[in-house]
Structure 1
Amino acid sequence: MAEFVEKRCEDMIPELEQMERIKLFDKNEIRGIAKKRKEYEYKIQRHTKCKEDYLRYIQYEMDLLKLVRQRRDKLGIGQKKSDIDYAIANKVNQLYTQAIHKFQDDVRFWIAYMKFCKHMRFHSSTSRMIGRMLQVHQDKPKCWHIAARWEIEENQNIQNARQYLLRGLHIHPDSRLLYADSFRLELDEALSKVGDSEMKDEKSDTVATGEDTMPDELKRANVIYLQAFKRIKDIKFIIELLDITKEYKNTEKLQNKIVSDMVQEYAHEPLMWDTMAKRELKGLVQPSSTMEVDSSEQSSLRDRISLCNEVYQTAVKKIKTEEMWSLYIECILEINHDTGSLPNFKKKLLRNALSQAHQAKKLREKYYLQWINMLNNEKKDENTQKKLLEVLTWATEALPNSVNLWQARLRYHVILGEDDNVATVFAKATKILREKALPLWRMKLLHVQAKSPEKTEEVFQAAMQGEPAIARDMKPTYVEWLVLTKNIQTARQVYDNLCLQPPSCLELHKKMAAMELMQPEISLKNARRPHEMATLQFGKSHTDVWMDYINFEMNHGDPKRVAEIHRRAVKSLDSSLAEKFVTQFSLLKAKAENSMESTVSTS
């Protein structure tokens, strides 16, 4: 192996000498390049081959080639390209070839090599490699897709691309990717054969004579579509094919065919109705007698929106699901984004859709919230406020487990200053939501602090006696409030009690530790207590409680205690975390030592 590597390295010497001679690199840089190449050569010649070694070597050579080109541009050096640039490119080409031979099962190498060949314009190499790739990976539709795209984009050979796709579909008759590729290819080919005027003439002749045949130019695309429709029973894929046809002019006949088949085959699918409604909105041609709505030609925006709405109205009567209603409302919301035209008409349709979905018990939380937001943004009069309260009540009754809806309802009463209703809604919501009601407790707390500060203690006590999860999350806030409104002594007494009450709360200890450090005179005894409690309750599973304790002693307490805390941490933490803690401590110690050295040198 060593002899082979040495021979390879010797073969590279002329190339390196040329680099130095024309002053692309200096002597030290050349020595570094030679050393690096030698290391990589030994790695790829090992008995056990490793993919990563090839990938790293290839990346090194690509980076070297990039650097060579940058140096040429910067220094204005144009000579010896064949001896240097092309030699590096050929080296990468050889490495890819070797890697692909060694690791044929890894598609990444094939794809990366094709990208390289495209970049370097090694077209003949790629064409040979595509044939080999398909022999090895014919079981992967993605490879047939790649081969076809190469023929279309790089070789401009439509016939070869078509053959690859047809062979791929023969092996993978249910591949959506290959059907979509073939369909797009045939549409591209159809519209490249004839001009727009000829296609229009064909279309007008067909309509005039009442023939239901597909234009000749679209027959290949139609055959691909029919096969796809037969093999793949999925409305999403058929809609994808329909969307592809919309990218091309003069495909109305094919679009009508797809739409007609969708209506017949997928009348039970919400997405089919959604697609049909949006086609009405865009004014796209619809096949006659496919929908149970008036499909006479209309051109105005109002007419298109009305026809779109009619399709949805028909749909929700046939398909009484939450998904169907959601698609309907989503489209009407999108229509309402444009407020420049017909704003009142659009809002009316949205209000009706939301109200009907609520009555059908199919309205999702997000749409209740949008309905509420819409009413909040309207002119504040008695009727609007009445309607807003009605919708809020409907929403919380329809979806009683929604925290967001209860928040919106509670906020409504808080803004209006209706204290009795605030209390009633809060009591009802917390009873239903239980441990999920924390946002409502926080809202109630802010409301009481603003309106009746003397009742704040009462709210905290109620929270402490409520759901364990609520009590746990409110503890830090309670301690902080005591420090800010009363004194640290009161907070310490309450903390001593709360920290022993289950469930344990890590944030409580952190908050109390922070409060102690905010005092004008820090009491080390009291400041240590939160750290001691945190390590006792969370010392097995949290490295940060030990690091916080160590930081406290180093910065505010007694640094001599650090060794003992370190020993306790290593003993207490789970084995997987103990190693992490040791690393964190080492970094902290090194940082402290560097800081001390810097201070001394400055002095």
Structure 2
Amino acid sequence: LASNERNLAENTLSEQDIKLERVEAVYRNSMANITQLDYFVKLLESCEDHQELTGKLQRMIIDDMQEKFPREPGLWDLLAQRELRGFHLGDLEEEDLDTSDEEPASKKSRSVNGRSLKRRIQLCVTVYKSAVEELQTTEMWNMYLDAMLALNSDGKTERILKQQCLADALQAGHRSQLMGVKHYATLRKMLCTAPSGREAAVTILTEALKNDSSVEMHELLLATHIQSDSEPLIYELFNKIQKSMGSEALPL
């Protein structure tokens, strides 16, 4: 099936239409034997190389993925990242509704990345927000937050929007009580860049400790007290950790 996809570009338009019909037929016939999400992911990525030809097939694949793996974080992550790359799900839905016979599918061309980066980021974030609301799992929150961190690795374009998306995701992650130490460390760092944010960091980390009392989480709160030069709070927290955690607190 993948080899058929790769050969599409080598044919004339009429041959491409025939080839695409064959690819779709092979896909339908193999559906009963497909049980791994990775197979769908690779096939969908292969279709992206021929975006102007494979809209119908992509819609079929995504529909099948949503039916087979509705609670798989990897599916939601894939759909969100597709939005960021410019492969908007709504475009495929509009194509399905287009009943015009004026042009064959192979001659129709949809503009990938035709939307602005700002709009693609917004669509991507919308999918992630739906995902964490639907699944409510630590794994999905990790994917969402990691994606926002990756987005901020390039600050050359839409820097303010990217930073706001990350800040919003971190705050929402804290409220969900499903955010891990790694992302609390990021949130603490962001808050502590300004002296006025250290108090907020202490409040948030203290709340987080109610759900995660690990040594690593205590370390974040202790580091915040040290950065604020709050000596009484430093000793109070350190003694509390030593009493409650014993040998587990040795890394501190």
TM-score range, shorter chain: 0.7 to 0.9
- 1:399 is aligned to 2:212: yes
SS of aligned partner of 1:439: coil
Task: Give, in whole Å, the separation in 1 of the partners of 2:227 and 2:131.
Answer: 40
Task: Give, in whole Å, the separation in 2 of the partners of 1:278 and 1:188.
Answer: 22
What's the counterpart of residue 239 of structure 1?
41
Q: For the Cα contact (< 8 Å) 1:191–1:217, is it kept in 2?
A: no
Q: For the Cα contact (< 8 Å) 2:47–2:54, is it kept in 1?
A: yes
What's the counterpart of residue 327 of structure 1?
143
Instruction: Label 1:367 to 1:229 Cα distance change in 2 as closer, same or farther (>3 A).
Output: farther
Q: Given the alignment, which residue of 177, 189, 193 partners 2:7?
A: 189
Structure 2 unmatched runs, 5+ = 95-112
Q: Which has the higher contact order (CA 8 A, sep 6+)?
A: 2
Q: Which has the larger radius of gyration?
A: 1
- 1:230 is aligned to 2:44: no
Letter in 2 for 1:414: I
TM-score (norm 1): 0.36
Task: Give, in whole Å, the separation in 2 of the partners of 1:355 and 1:273.
Answer: 20
What's the counterpart of residue 363 of structure 1?
179
Task: Give, in whole Å, the separation in 1 of the partners of 2:134 and 2:172.
Answer: 14
Q: Given the alignment, which residue of 53, 56, 61 partners 1:253?
A: 56
Task: Give, in whole Å, the separation in 2 of the partners of 1:281 and 1:253.
Answer: 20
Report deviation, 1:266: 2.5
Q: For the Cα contact (< 8 Å) 2:198–2:228, is it kept in 1?
A: no
Task: Give, in whole Å, the separation in 1 of the partners of 2:241 and 2:45.
Answer: 46
Report deviation, 1:285: 4.1
SS of aligned partner of 1:288: helix
Per-residue displacement from partner, 1:184-213 (whole Å, max 9, x unpaired)?
A: 22123333222xxx27x98xxxxxxxxxxx
Task: Give, in whole Å, the separation in 2 of the partners of 1:321 and 1:267.
Answer: 13
Q: For the Cα contact (< 8 Å) 2:198–2:224, is it kept in 1?
A: no
Per-residue displacement from partner, 1:114-157 (whole Å, max 9, x unpaired)?
A: xxxxxxxxxxxxxxxxxxxxxxxxxxxxxxxxxxxxxxxxxxxx
What's the counterpart of residue 116 of structure 2?
300
Report deviation, 1:363: 0.7
Per-residue displacement from partner, 1:257-313 (whole Å, max 9, x unpaired)?
A: 212222333222222111111111111142218xxxxxxx97111111111111111
Instruction: Label 1:314 to 1:260 Cα distance change in 2 as closer, same or farther (>3 A).
Output: same
Identity level (%): 27
Structure 1 unmatched runs, 5+ = 1-182, 203-214, 290-296, 441-603
Per-residue displacement from partner, 1:42-85 (whole Å, max 9, x unpaired)?
A: xxxxxxxxxxxxxxxxxxxxxxxxxxxxxxxxxxxxxxxxxxxx
Instruction: Label 1:432 to 1:235 Cα distance change in 2 as closer, same or farther (>3 A).
Output: farther
Letter in 2 for 1:362: L
Moved over 6 A (4+): none
What's the counterpart of residue 198 of structure 2?
385
Task: Give, in whole Å, the separation in 1 of the partners of 2:62 and 2:208.
Answer: 37
What's the counterpart of residue 235 of structure 2?
423
Per-residue displacement from partner, 1:206-265 (whole Å, max 9, x unpaired)?
A: xxxxxxxxx322123223333443212222321122122223453333222212222333
Task: Give, in whole Å, the separation in 1 of the partners of 2:172 and 2:88.
Answer: 29
Task: Give, in whole Å, the separation in 2 of the partners of 1:348 and 1:189.
Answer: 43
Instruction: Label 1:187 to 1:302 Cα distance change in 2 as closer, same or farther (>3 A).
Output: same
Query: What is the aligned residue count?
Result: 231
Further displaced range: 324-333 or 407-416: 407-416
Instruction: Label 1:381 to 1:264 Cα distance change in 2 as closer, same or farther (>3 A).
Output: same
Report deviation, 1:335: 1.0
- 1:346 is aligned to 2:159: no
Give the alignment's Cα RMSD to 1 decimal: 2.4
Q: For the Cα contact (< 8 Å) 1:256–1:285, is it kept in 2?
A: no
Letter in 2 for 1:267: P
Matches within 5 A, 1:509-520: none
Task: Give, in whole Å, the separation in 1 of the partners of 2:187 and 2:142.
Answer: 13
Q: For the Cα contact (< 8 Å) 2:8–2:19, is it kept in 1?
A: yes
Report deviation, 1:390: 2.1
Task: Give, in whole Å, the separation in 1 of the partners of 2:40 and 2:159.
Answer: 34
What's the counterpart of residue 435 of structure 1?
247
